[in-house]
Structure 1
Amino acid sequence: MQIAFQRSPRRRVAGALAASAAAILAVSGCSVANTTQSESASPNTLRIVLPQEPPTLEPCDASLTATGVVVRSNITEPLIERDPNTGALQPKLASSWRQVEPNVWQFTTASGVKFSNGATFDAHDAAFSIQRTFNGAIGCDVNGYVFDDSTIDVQALDDHTVQMRTEQPDPILPLRVSFIEMVPRTTDPDNKVREPIGTGPYMVDFWDSGQRIALKANPNYHGTAPAYTRAIYQWRTEGSVRAAMVANDEADIATSLGPEDGAGDLGIAYVNNETTALRMQATDAPLDDIRVREAIDYSINRAGIVKALFQGLGRPAAELVGKGIVGYNDQLTPTPYDLDKARKLVDEARADGVPVDTTIRLIGRTGQFPKINETIEAIQYSLSKIGLNVKIEMMDTSGQMQYQVRPFVAGSGPVLLMVQHGNQAGDSQFTLDQYMLSDGYQSTYGTAAYDREIQAAEAMTGDARQAALATVLADEPVKIRQYAYIAHMEAVLAKSNKVSYQPNSATGDEMRLSEMTHATSRND
């Protein structure tokens, strides 16, 4: 069966054919890709083109999308993994786990597992990997993202048992542990590594900085050998170029495409669990006035952005988590687009002495999602219409992350930051703790009262937990309004007909090469 773009006809990917884009590039005399002829010709090499170079391959930063898409479940693996389709936790490098006391969990490590360097994996490596994640000297992203810099006692009781003791009972600790990638205890405990050692189906072959990353099959892999023995990652900023590389047989997979990038019948649309939002730094004037933040919220034309820029691939958002996440509140509606109301709020703040003419920095990350530049420009235009002075600053990943995660850039002034959050864990606690607590890893503002509301909800279980978390999400725009939610996103991936692969909601953060196989026919 011919692989078509998997949407209804009225929402198919639009734009020029990828072949046209390839022809344009050919006129310039340049090759789209930078792969060698031998790699291009090899049927056992996967060629993947990303929108940006990973900032690091450090496993404890695998919760970063640009890092996790290469590292997670390819080079390294966790003790437990979450099924993106069902949300169920499944054994990986842990064969079982149990709560032995309210504050204590024990994990039994799997037998017969080796790292790519030949060393045997056991509970001591698992304990080391978890402890290393908490090492403040490294500044692991997963620590703030998943564990909120909390204190946890970790020890290997024997070669096959790891015990974790928390300060307070933690009903979702196994879910948190699923974010920690296992590394050998010989790994540098105090510094991030460039080429990690793991237990995954692949290992790093080489990283040609600025050009490409090559992985090769791990000869010591404990599972079924992957269909492809090598994988080559390259990166191109322009989505149309990435799509053309697949159409021109210079790549097999191209990620993060927009509907206008020309993927045609090679494109597959899928829900990726990402939500875009504008984070408002409420500690600096004029953003410290809730009326100004409310005005910014009213000035965003969510429906227009989704329709015109995303071509229908997504839906306007009223909260930072999407459907299927515990706590998702289906009763919330997106803030309406109302420039008149926004102008009145700004005028009221100005009349009360709020310095609304202060320059506000609107920061976006290049390649963060398709049409990011146009989205940023549309928001700036609307904000200028309501009387705010906004300056756009586009940054690469490393630059933008200085404003997104703690410790934030000191004295940065009033900042509006475009963020994109994908809660792959399936519980709103992972969103609330990092994005909404006063001292959250990616939060710049909050109140003691709202913190207590969050923490009380997170202590609950079952239906009570769902209801309490939903209330917390509903209260954020009313009590805090740190965010102007924009859209729940959908993604487009281009795939060669030679490869059989079905993306899922986790693909944007964790693209498992072992799930890619040779297509049985050109129309597979």
Structure 2
Amino acid sequence: PLTADDVAFTYNNCRDNSSVNDFSMLKEAVAVDDTTVEFHMNTPFAVWPYTMAIVGIVPEHAYDENYGQNPIGSGRYIMKQWDKGQQVIFEANPDYYGEVPTMKKVTVLFMEEDAALAAAQAGTVDVAHTAASYSDMTVDGYDLFSVQTVDNRGFNLPATEAAEIDGVTYGNDFTSDVEVRRAINIGIDREEMIQNVLNGYGTPAYSVCDKMPWYNEEAEVEYDQDKARELLDAAGWETGDDGIREKDGIRAELTMLYPASDSVRQALAEDTKNQLTELGIEVTTEGVDWDTAYTRAESEPLVWGWGAHTPMELYNIYHTMSETGLAEYSPYSNETVDKYMDEALESSDLESSYDLWKKAQWDGETGITQDGDIPWIWLCNIDHLYFVKDGLKIADQKIHPHGHGWSIVNNVDQWTWE
């Protein structure tokens, strides 16, 4: 049985032991009776509904260091088998309290893009995630299924001058010029990227929270390459004999990093390179592993993927961290932006915080959008694409967050064969 004691235990355990998410705002979860839990907070935290929603409840009596291998749940399915790195098999829970799942058994395979495509071509899977680069292919017995997302792709532009802190270089002397960042933002043709890189399966991105209730439409810009050149000219970035700009001995050049295993991010990096070359900016692209990427992104742009159903995504990317005095994923800091986000978290309820999240993006004078600091350039929200076997009816999908794997099967209990 799922009890309030289990719920309280779970959140208190997250507070004390989670290394993935921050639960320091929680003072204590208290089971009032068998079905009621009270959350006592150290500080107001308006987005608590989003934070608590991502937590899976665990049974206090059976929770130990081996629980992750043999979870016990009250949900629609039971995990029957897990072959690490290969597959996980779920079977319908006979004791589930809700509607009986239409799919009695679900096997999720862990595959790279090429392997998933090959499995679909062989007819050995019912659904196969695929990349936009394969979207124009025809697979016999399958249709292409597209889902809209807030799964965005963009890159950071270090907003401070280069400096070393504890052996790590933070900042970039070229991108620390705000006019450079503004020129790059309007000098990129997002629609061209969507057509040429994503085969049309995507939407332009101007923030980390497009389509969400807290999105500020002031983030949107018009593509204007001529205006981008004017901004660079006015800022003193003069074009040299080789076509590359320079100012005060600093060359307009940067290295664009991307995760080496991601073909879409590589293609976006290459497209960005080609477009910025037309502005007189020299770009070198480089595929790296994530251990390398996290460190080097403090001083060089990296093609990232973000997007979640919570305004904390804004906070995590743009809010100053106490350890360095800079935002965590790109050297950047703005006290006014911090203040709006802090006030948003202290709001009495979630809906009343939306306006403050919008002001953090742009309040008419400062923010993180085009006329503000623009420390990130957002390119596109990528559609999640799947080859689906003929006769399989996938239930209606909500807008997917970042990550293509688990969102599609969130309602697999409602899928049917026709």
TM over 0.5: yes
The residue identity in structure 1 corresponding to 2:124 is E
2:72 maps to what in 1? 197
Pick one of 76, 85, 96 that aligns with 1:210. 85
Secondary structure of 2:272's counterpart equals helix
Q: CA deviation at 1:304?
A: 0.9
Q: Is the 8 A contact 1:270 1:503 kept in 2?
A: no
Deviation at 1:482, TM superposition (A): 1.8
**Counterpart position of 1:242:** 116
2:8 is equivalent to residue 127 of structure 1: yes
Residues 50-95 of structure 1, C-alpha deviations (whole Å, 9 max, x = no match) = xxxxxxxxxxxxxxxxxxxxxxxxxxxxxxxxxxxxxxxxxxxxxx
SS at match of 2:339: helix
| Corresponding residue of 1:456 | 343
Residue 164 of structure 1 deviates from its aligned partner by 1.0
**Against the structure 1 CA distance between its residues 485 and 217, is the aligned structure 2 distance closer, same or farther, given a 3 Å change threshold?**
same
> Matched residues in 2 for 1:192 and 1:384: separation?
52
Residue in 2 that maps onto 1:420: 305
Partner of 2:56: 181
Q: Is 1:279 paired with 2:169? A: no
Letter in 2 for 1:294: R
Q: Matched residues in 2 for 1:391 and 1:346: separation? A: 25
1:290 maps onto 2:178 in alignment = yes
Provide closer, same or farther for how the CA distance between residues 219 and 270 of structure 1 changes in structure 2, counting only shifts above 3 A: same
Identical-pair percentage? 17
Whether the aligned pair in 1 keeps the contact of 2:273 and 2:284 (CA below 8 Å) is yes
Paired amino acid for 1:250: T
Letter of the 1:215 partner, please give it.
F
Structure-2 residue corresponding to 1:115: none
> Which residue does the alignment assign to 2:383?
490
Task: Find 1:392's aligned residue among 286, 289, 313.
Answer: 286
1:260 aligns with 2:156: no
Q: Distance in 2 between matches of 1:356 and 1:387?
A: 5
Are 2:333 and 1:446 aligned?
A: yes
Task: Kindly indicate whether the alpha-carbon contact (under 8 Å) linking 1:299 and 1:342 is maintained by their aligned counterparts in 2.
Answer: no
Q: Distance in 1 between matches of 2:139 and 2:230?
A: 40
Letter in 1 for 2:359: T
Residues 265-311 of structure 1 show CA distances to partners (whole Å, capped at 9, x for unaligned) of 61122212222221234341234333443344344331210122222
Structure 2 distance, partners of 1:332, 1:291, is 16
Per-residue Cα deviation, 1:426-454 (whole angstroms, up to 9, x for no partner): xxx32222222112665653222220022
Q: Is the 8 A contact 1:362 1:391 kept in 2?
A: yes
**Aligned positions of 1:81-480 closer than 5 A:** 120-136=1-17, 138-140=18-20, 143-144=21-22, 149-186=24-61, 193-238=68-113, 242-243=116-117, 245-246=119-120, 248-258=122-132, 259-262=135-138, 266-282=143-159, 283-286=170-173, 287-323=175-211, 325-334=212-221, 336-338=223-225, 340-341=229-230, 344=233, 347=237, 350-352=246-248, 354=250, 356-357=252-253, 360-364=255-259, 366-367=261-262, 371-384=264-277, 386-395=280-289, 399=290, 403=293, 409=295, 414-425=299-310, 429-439=311-321, 444-460=331-347, 465-474=353-362, 475-477=367-369, 478-480=371-373
SS of 2:28's equivalent in the other structure is: strand
Report the Cα distance in structure 2 between the residues aligned to 1:488 and 1:472, rounded to whole angstroms: 21
- 1:4 is matched with none
The two structures have a TM-score, normalised by structure 1, of: 0.63
Q: 1:458 touches 1:469 (CA, 8 Å); kept in 2? A: no
Q: Secondary structure at the match of 2:368?
A: helix
CA distance in 1 between counterparts of 2:229 and 2:313 reads 32
Asked if 2 retains the 8 angstrom alpha-carbon contact of 1:298 and 1:342, the reply is no
Contact 2:26 2:39 in 1 (8 A): no
Quote the Cα distance in structure 2 between the aligned partners of 1:182 and 1:155.
14
* Paired residue secondary structure (2:154): strand
In structure 2, give the amino acid aligned to 1:392: E
Instruction: Name the amino acid aligned to 2:319.
Output: L
Cα deviation, residue 353, structure 1: 5.0
In structure 2, the CA distance between the partners of 1:154 and 1:249, relative to structure 1 (3 Å rule), is same
Question: Residue type of the partner of 1:431?
Answer: E
Cα offset for 1:486?
0.7
Distance 1:187 1:388 in 2: 57
- 1:314 Cα deviation (Å)? 2.1
Partner secondary structure for residue 149 of structure 2: strand
- Structure-1 separation of matches of 2:342 and 2:128: 40
CA contact (8 A) 1:434 1:443 kept: no
5+ residue gaps, structure 1, are 1-119
- Cα-Cα RMSD: 3.4
SS at match of 1:224: coil
Q: Show CA shifts across 1:363-395 (max 9, x none).
A: 33634xx73321122123334553345341243
Kindly state the Cα deviation for residue 179 of structure 1 after the two structures are TM-superposed.
Answer: 1.8
Cα separation, 1, equivalents of 2:247 and 2:266: 33
**Aligned-residue offset at 1:418:** 1.9
Q: CA deviation at 1:423?
A: 2.5
TM-score by length of 2: 0.77
Whole-angstrom distance in 2 between the partners of 1:221 and 1:467 = 40
Distance 1:504 1:416 in 2: 33
CA distance in 1, matches of 2:71, 2:250: 50
Provide the secondary structure at the position in 1 that maps to 2:266. Answer: helix
User: Which amino acid counterpart does residue 123 of structure 2 have in structure 1?
Assistant: D
Note closer, same or farther for the CA distance 1:174–1:236 as it changes in structure 2 (3 Å cut): closer
* Distance in 2, Cα, partners of 1:459 & 1:468: 10
Q: Secondary structure of 1:488's match?
A: strand
The DSSP-based 3-state class of the residue aligned with 1:135 is helix
Secondary structure in 2 aligned to 1:152? strand
- Offset at 1:181? 1.4
Distance 1:224 1:295 in 2: 54
Figure out how many residues of one structure are paired with residues of the other and give that number: 378
1:9-24 paired onto structure 2 within 5 Å: none
Cα distance per residue 1:328-385 (max 9 Å; x no partner): 233542352526347545826942455655x635133634xx7332112212333455
Letter in 2 for 1:445: Y
Q: Supply the distance in 1 between the matched residues of 2:236 and 2:83 (Cα, whole angstroms).
A: 50
Query: Quick check: 1:518 aligned with 2:394?
Result: no
Q: Determine the C-alpha separation between the residues in 1 that align with 2:297 and 2:210.
A: 31
Counterparts in 2 of 1:383 and 1:195: CA distance versus 1, 3 Å: farther
